[in-house]
Structures are given as C-alpha cells and as structure tokens.
Amino acid sequence: MRAKHAVTALSAGLLALVAGAHALARDVGDQFGPEVNGWFLQDPATPVMEELIFVHNLVQVIITGIVILVFGLMIYICWRYAEKRNPVPSKTSHNTLIEVIWTIVPVILLVIIAVPSMSLLYKQDRLPETQLTVKAVGGTWNWTYSYPDFENVEEFVSNPLDETQAKAVGQPYLLATDAPLVVPVNTPVKVLVTSVNNMHSWAMPSFGVKMDAVPGIINETWFEVNKEGTYYGQCSEICGIRHYYMPIEVKVVSQSEFARYIAAGGEPEDKFAGLDLNQTSGAAMAAANR
C-alpha cells in the first residue's frame, strides 16, 4: 500500500514538473519556436498539439511508475532474499493471484494508453472540413509554397535569412525565412506536401504536424492555429548537405489581414523595409523594426 502511495505522489510531482516547465517555454513577443537547451515539447498552438501533449504526459507518468516499481522490487528482492537473510529458499512456483494481477494490470494500462492514442491518431489523420489549401514542396534546399485556391497568388520560394538579416529583424537565425507561409487564424488549413527531388519532411512542432515530402506522392495533413503570431519549424528528414538550411516559418494572421494578403497577390511584407543591413547593429535594428 505504501508503495502505491509513493507512485501516486511521484506521478503528481511529475505532472506538476511538466506543467511548470510549459510556462518556461520560449515566447518572445509573438514568435513561437524552439528554445535553446529546451527540455520539453513546445507550447501547443493547435488543438491536435494540446491533445498530443496530454497523451505524452500520461504515458510519461505511467512508464515512470512502472520503472520505479520494477526497479524497486528488484532491489528489494536482492536485499531481502540474499543468501544470508534467507538461507532456506522457498520452493513456491505458482501463485494464481499474483499471476492474474500481473496479466490484468498491464492490459488495463495498455487500454488506458490506447484510447487517447487512437483518438489522437484519428484526429491527426482525418482532415476536417478545411477552408483553405496550401501546398508545400520541398527542394534542395528550400520550401516552395502555393495557394491552389487562389489563382492570383503565384507560388513563392521560402529561403532562410542569413545571420545578419535575421539579427537585423530580430528573428532567430536558421528558423526565419525571407517569405513565410501566411495563413489565417482559427481556420482549418489543409497542407499538401510533396518534393521535387529527395525526401523532406514538413514539420511544425507547435502544431503537432510532421508530414513526409516524397517525390511523386502528395501527402496531406492539416492544422488549425488558435493564436496569431510567427511559428517556426524545420525540415525533419535528413535530406542532404543543406538539410539544416530549410526552415519553415508560418505567419498566422487575422482573417481580414489574410484577405488583404491574398488580394495583394500574396506579396509578403518586406521584412527589411527601412533597414540598412550594412550599417546598423542587430539590436538597434530589431528595436527600429518594432
């Protein structure tokens, strides 16, 4: 009984730790992405990612409990039944009650894990009624985006900013791009993902999205972001020498701003408007840009 209490207390402690750590996650203004030396999953930006974090935490608590129980029992057995404390070993070979318990309890635990996992997998896999389609095509080494719904918007290539440029606009180097994918907030967006050469993967950790980009195949996934801001992801398939050089920047804007963006032919805002990249220091430029 005491062991059971210990496991419960530890589970509660772990949950508190995970919840507390979320508050520490990177949130620089309206930019959301990985943090340096981060330990935990990024803050969720979509309902799918919220559910994913719930399942992750649930499984963490269960596996930690199992590890502690099994190691605890093994250490106890080594100590209690060592030869000097237990010179005459028991000849017991069956105990029906214990055998029933160690069969039933794992089954119950697996069911507890399976129900939310299956629901999550289904949610990720089945597209809801989406209101917008975007296409992401992996290349060597950048992403090309297009809006098949809007003929007036030409496809565009999204290249990463170099270090000076990123500093100048106050965005993270190797995550920020010169032309982000722009989508509206609170709108289910379908993403068609493919590649023109080798395999890539369109991955946005805070959206709970990671979809392989395979030449000759169009994969689809979806997301619905509930908060405006700039979100960062990366290609997550080891695709070649400049794999690190194909970040993903998604700018989530209000519905009206998105309508304006599309009406203007999808022209991305000029990040460097009013900046002299050769002259000003990074911090001053970032301040000027605000």
Binding site for Cu ion (CB under 5 A): 200, 235, 239, 246
Q: Which residue's CB is nearer to Cu ion, number 26 or number 243?
A: 243
What is the closest distance, in whole angstroms, from the C-beta atom of residue 125 to Cu ion in the complex?
23
The pairing of strands 132-139 and 189-195 is parallel
What is the closest distance, in whole angstroms, from the C-beta atom of residue 249 to Cu ion in the complex?
15
The 3 state secondary structure assigned to 95-116 is CHHHHHHHHHHHHHHHHHHHHH
Helix H or strand E encompassing 73: helix 47-80
Comparing CA positions, the residue from 153, 151, 156 lying closest to residue 136 is 156
Eight-class DSSP state of 207: G
How many Å is the Cα radius of gyration of the chain? Answer: 25
Terminal C-alpha separation, the chain: 59
Q: Which residue's CB is nearer to Cu ion, number 48 or number 239?
A: 239
For 266-277, b/e burial (b = at least 16 CB within 10 A) is: bebeebeeebee
What is the rounded distance in angstroms from the CA atom of residue 254 to the CA atom of residue 225? 11
For 39-63, b/e burial (b = at least 16 CB within 10 A) is: ebbbbbbbebbebbbebebbeebee
What is the closest distance, in whole angstroms, from the C-beta atom of residue 159 to Cu ion in the complex?
13
104 C-beta neighbours (distance < 10 Å), count:
10
Q: Which residue's CB is nearer to Cu ion, number 57 or number 194?
A: 194
Q: Which residue's CB is nearer to Cu ion, number 53 or number 191?
A: 191
What is the closest distance, in whole angstroms, from the C-beta atom of residue 138 to Cu ion in the complex?
5
What is the closest distance, in whole angstroms, from the C-beta atom of residue 50 to Cu ion in the complex?
27
199: left (phi over 0), alpha (psi -120 to 50) or beta: beta
What is the closest distance, in whole angstroms, from the C-beta atom of residue 262 to Cu ion in the complex?
27
Q: Which residue's CB is nearer to Cu ion, number 159 or number 187?
A: 159
Q: Is the CB of residue 155 less than 8 Å from the CB of residue 134?
A: no
Q: Which residue's CB is nearer to Cu ion, number 190 or number 200?
A: 200
Q: Which residue's CB is nearer to Cu ion, number 246 or number 253?
A: 246
What is the closest distance, in whole angstroms, from the C-beta atom of residue 246 to Cu ion in the complex?
5
Q: Which residue's CB is nearer to Cu ion, number 45 or number 137?
A: 137
What is the closest distance, in whole angstroms, from the C-beta atom of residue 231 to Cu ion in the complex?
18
